[in-house]
Amino acid sequence: MIQVLVNGLVNGAILTLMAISVTIIFGVLRVPHFGLGGIFVWGAFIAYFTRITWGLNVLTAMLFSATLSAILGVVIEKIAFKRLRGASEDAMFVSAIGVLIALENGAHLIWGEQTRSIPFPLLDFVLSLPGVLYLPAMRVLILLVVGLVTLGLHFYVKKTKMGKAMRAVAQNRISSCLLGVPIDRVASYTFAFGSAMAGMAGTLVGIAFTFSYDMGTMSVLKAFVVVVLGGLGSIGGAIIGGFILGIIDSLTLTFLTSQYKYLVSFSLIILVLVLRPSGIFGQKLSRPQ
C-alpha cells in the first residue's frame, strides 16, 4: 500500500508542476494556455540536446531548458496572446490550441518522431525497503525539484515587487493598470514563469521516463483537469489536485482496472465538481474585464 501511495505521489508531482504553470497563467491573465503542452515538449528536447550535444550535466541542462522555455513563453505571449487581451475567452482558447498544435508539430518537423530519454547515470539506483517500498532515485529527484519550485514560486509571489504586481493583476486588471502596474511586463513575467515550469516538467519526464513530440496534449489536458479540480486560479488547489489525481490514478491501476483508468479518474473528478463546482480550493472569479 505504501508503494502504491508513493507511486501516486510521484505521478502527481509532475502533474502538479504542469498544473501550477497552467494556474499561474490563468489566474493572473485569464488565458487558458493549452500551448504549455507544446512548451512541455520543447523543454524536454532542449534539455536532451544540450545534454547530448554539449555534454552539460543534468542540472545545468534542466536550468538551461527552463530559461529557454521561459523565453519561448514570452515570445508566444507577444505573438499569440497580447492582441487578444481584450478579446473573448473563446478567442484565447483557439489561440492556445493553435500554439499547442504548432509547437508539437514543430518539434516533430525538427526532431522527428523517435522516442528519446535524457540519460542521468548518477541517479541510476533504487532506494528500497524490501517488501515495502522501491523508489528509484530519479523519482526522489522529481519530488525534490517540484517541492523546491513550488516553494520558490510561493516566495517570489509573496515577497517580491513583481509578485505583488502579479497578484494585483490577478485580482483586478483594470484597477492595477490605473494604479500604474505595468501589465505588459506582468504578462511577460507570468508567461515566463509558467513556461519555465512547463519546460522543467518536460525535462523531468524526459529524465525519469521517455519523451516524444506528441506527449504534450495529454499532459496539458490532465493539467487542466487538475486545475479545475483544485479550483481555477488557486496554486494551492493545483498542488493538492495534482497529488490527488496522481494517487487516484495509482489506486485505480493497482486495485480496480488498468483498461479504464482515465474513465475512473475523470468520473471521480466529475463527481467532485458536481458536489463542489468551484473545485476544492476554488473561489468565485469575476469575468475578465
- Give the footprint of another protein on this chain (CB under 8 A): 3-4, 7-8, 10-11, 108, 113-115, 117, 119, 126, 128, 130, 134, 136, 205, 208-210, 212, 214-215, 218, 249-250, 253-254, 258-259, 261-262
What 174-178 contacts at long range (C-beta under 8 Å, 24+ apart), as own/partner pairs, is: 174/289
Residue matched to cell numbers 550535444: 53
Q: Amino acid letter at 52?
A: I
Of the candidates 19, 10, 283, 6, the one whose C-alpha atom is nearest the C-alpha of residue 150 is 19
User: Closer to another protein at the Cβ: 207 or 239?
Assistant: 207
For residue 263, give the H/E element and its range: helix 261-275
Q: For residues 170 and 248, which CB has a smaller minimum distance to another protein in the complex? A: 248
In the complex, the smallest distance separating the C-beta of residue 21 from another protein, rounded to whole angstroms, is 18
**Which one, 136 or 288, has the nearer CB to another protein?**
136
| Shortest distance, position 117 Cβ to another protein, whole Å | 7
CA distances to 70, 181, 211 from 200, in Å? 10, 29, 13
Q: Ramachandran region of residue 115, left (φ > 0), alpha (ψ -120 to 50) or beta?
A: beta
Closest CB 122 distance from another protein, rounded Å: 14
Contact 100, 220 (CB under 8 A): yes
Shortest CB 65 distance to another protein, Å: 18
With contact defined as beta carbons under 8 Å apart, do 26 and 190 qualify?
Answer: no
Instruction: Please say which residue, 156 or 262, places its beta carbon nearer to another protein.
Output: 262
Query: In angstroms, what is the minimal distance from the CB of 113 to another protein?
Result: 5
What's the CA gap between 167 and 112, in Å, rounded?
A: 40
SS (H, E, C) 197-215: HHHHHHHHHHHHCCECCCC
Angstrom CA distances, 13 to 6, 7, 40, 133, 149, stand at 10, 10, 15, 18, 11
Find the shortest distance in angstroms from Cβ 72 to another protein.
23
We find the least distance from the C-beta atom of residue 130 to another protein, in angstroms, to be 8
Instruction: State the minimum distance, in angstroms, from the CB of residue 4 to another protein.
Output: 6
Instruction: Please report which residue ranges of the chain form alpha helices under DSSP H.
Output: 2-29, 36-54, 58-76, 89-111, 137-159, 161-171, 173-178, 183-208, 216-230, 235-251, 261-275
**Residue with Cβ nearer another protein (112 or 277):** 112
Q: Which is nearer to another protein, 153 or 205 (CB)?
A: 205
Task: Using the minimum distance from each CB to another protein, give the nearer residue, 40 or 191.
Answer: 40
| Closer Cβ to another protein, 11 or 234, answer by number | 11
For 66-210, where are the E strands, in sequence order?
Answer: 126-129, 133-136
